């Protein structure tokens, strides 16, 4: 058969090496020899990395987000300049975009990955599930010492939000009915940036309790520091370091706020979510209408929520003693001497909540009388 009419799958497939795939791609690009040499150098570097990981340097093996993120971390650890790493990621992203469009591979992990900037905190390791269970136990242990950091730490874990987003969240950003965080960021001279993410059910209950106990209004910040003041950007590092100190994690063991972002992305990648869905979790999209945004991304949101719920169940199951859900049940449960028509809250509390957060009060009332 003439090679000109040979099916593409017979020439290039997911088992093709990256170098061979680049050579085929070259025939469909108007690259100068200098540009091609640069691409070829970057591809061979990534191939060598895959081989060192015990993998064949194929298109298929190079499309996993966890591997790509580890490679990016390795670049930084080896002292590679930020701009050089950005160029290498862009080169591999171009290769994978080409073969994603052709249907040869399913995802482009390079497009979903980010490169730590030149002036950001040291890059954190990605935590394993057993590590996250230790983090959960640390949160519980610190609460016994009157150090309450569960809300911001779990927001880091379940949303992948960056530091500045965590500190800007307000109570009004919670959609209680849908179990979502709706983060709107209005940036001057640009489009409105919106991110809508699901939260697992037990954490939603914990947030509800958090708002009630603090008597927060919709305009109040959602997260607070160790001293009880609204959380500032740099203070988030101090909160995470409380976890590190509690677990005696030092050196390369330590986790940073940004490390939780990479951790949730890696967990979801290992559990089979597409790179596009994970990118939705980590990235910001333009939008102004929440209802339209939800309809457009309903499938991604549901996939993320399902997996976060499973992750939460595993983490909660690792705790000994009273879980947050049981704790909340004790907090809201009516006394056995009261009738079913009586509310499990004092008149003073109901009056205060009706002023500070009427939407939450209405939700609690509806749940009580169901």
**Max CA separation in the chain (angstroms):** 87
For residue 184, give the 3-state DSSP assignment: strand
In the chain the beta strands, taken as DSSP E runs, fall at: 174-175, 180-185, 193-198, 285-286
CA dist., res. 284 & res. 286, Å (int)? 7
For the domain 129-332, what is the CATH superfamily, name and number? Intergrase catalytic core (1.10.443.10)
Pull the structure tokens for residue 138. Answer: 């640390």
Task: List the chain domain ranges.
Answer: 3-112, 129-332, 334-370
Residue 10's CB is within 10 A of a number of other CB atoms, namely 9
Pull the structure tokens for residue 60. Answer: 């298929």
CA dist., res. 299 & res. 296, Å (int)? 8
For residue 183, give the 3-state DSSP assignment: strand
DSSP string, 307-331: HHHHHHHHHHHT--S--HHHHHHHH
CA dist., res. 304 & res. 171, Å (int)? 22
Sign (positive or negative) of CA dihedral 65, 66, 67, 70? positive
Query: What phi-psi label fits residue 54: left (phi over 0), alpha (psi between -120 and 50 degrees) or beta?
Result: left
Q: Residue 232's closest CA among 242, 220, 243, 221?
A: 221
CATH, domain range 3-112: 1.10.150.130
Global pTM reads 0.62
- Helix 150-159 vs helix 235-246: angle between axes, to the nearest 10 degrees? 100
Query: What phi-psi label fits residue 91: left (phi over 0), alpha (psi between -120 and 50 degrees) or beta?
Result: alpha
pLDDT score at 331: 44
Contact (CB, 8 A) for 271 and 304: no
Sign (positive or negative) of CA dihedral 126, 131, 135, 138? negative
Q: Collect all residues with Cβ–Cβ distance below 8 Å to 124 and sequence separation of at least 6.
A: 254, 255, 256, 257, 258, 259, 260, 262
Q: Are strands 180-185 and 193-198 parallel, antiparallel or unpaired?
A: antiparallel
Q: Residue 366's closest CA among 348, 349, 343?
A: 343
Q: One digit per residue, pLDDT tens: the chain, 370 residues?
A: 444 444 555 678 889 999 999 999 888 888 888 888 889 999 999 999 999 999 999 999 998 888 888 898 888 888 888 888 888 988 998 899 888 888 888 888 887 776 655 444 445 678 889 999 999 999 999 998 889 999 999 999 999 888 888 999 999 999 998 899 988 765 444 445 678 889 999 999 999 999 999 999 999 999 999 888 999 877 898 999 999 999 999 888 889 888 898 888 888 888 888 877 887 787 655 555 556 655 667 888 888 989 999 999 999 888 854 444 444 444 444 444 444 445 555 666 666 666 666 777 777 777 666 6
């Amino acid at each position: 058969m003439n090679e000109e009419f040979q099916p593409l799958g017979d020439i290039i497939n997911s088992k093709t090496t990256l170098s061979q795939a680049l050579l085929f791609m070259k025939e469909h690009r108007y690259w100068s020899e200098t540009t091609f040499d640069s691409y070829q150098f970057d591809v061979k570097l990534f191939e060598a990395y895959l081989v060192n990981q015990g993998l064949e340097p194929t298109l298929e093996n190079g499309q996993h987000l966890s591997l790509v993120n580890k490679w990016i971390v390795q670049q930084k650890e080896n002292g590679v300049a930020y701009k050089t790493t950005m160029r290498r990621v862009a080169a591999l992203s171009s290769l994978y975009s080409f073969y994603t469009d052709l249907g040869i591979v399913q995802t482009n992990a390079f497009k979903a990955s980010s490169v730590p900037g030149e002036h950001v905190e040291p890059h954190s390791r990605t935590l394993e599930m057993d590590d996250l269970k230790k983090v959960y136990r640390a949160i519980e242990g610190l609460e016994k010492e009157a150090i309450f950091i569960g809300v911001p730490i779990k927001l880091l874990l379940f949303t992948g939000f960056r530091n500045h987003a965590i500190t800007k969240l307000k109570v009004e950003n919670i959609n209680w009915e849908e179990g979502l965080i709706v983060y709107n960021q209005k940036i001057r001279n640009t489009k409105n940036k919106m991110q809508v993410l699901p939260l697992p059910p037990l954490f939603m209950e914990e947030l509800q309790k958090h708002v009630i106990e603090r008597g927060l209004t919709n305009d109040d910040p959602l997260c607070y520091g160790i001293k009880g003041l609204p959380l500032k950007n740099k203070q988030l590092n101090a909160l995470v370091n409380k976890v590190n100190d509690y677990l005696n994690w030092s050196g390369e063991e330590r986790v940073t706020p940004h490390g939780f972002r990479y951790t949730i992305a890696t967990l979801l990648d290992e559990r089979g979510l597409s790179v596009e869905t994970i990118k939705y979790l980590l990235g910001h999209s333009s939008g102004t209408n929440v209802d339209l945004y939800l309809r457009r991304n309903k499938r991604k949101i549901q996939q993320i929520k399902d997996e976060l719920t499973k992750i939460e169940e595993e983490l909660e199951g690792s705790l000994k003693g009273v879980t947050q859900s049981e704790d909340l049940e004790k907090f809201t449960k009516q006394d056995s001497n009261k009738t079913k028509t009586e509310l499990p809250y004092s008149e003073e509390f109901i009056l205060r909540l009706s002023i500070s957060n009427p939407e939450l009060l209405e939700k609690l009332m509806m749940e009580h009388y169901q």
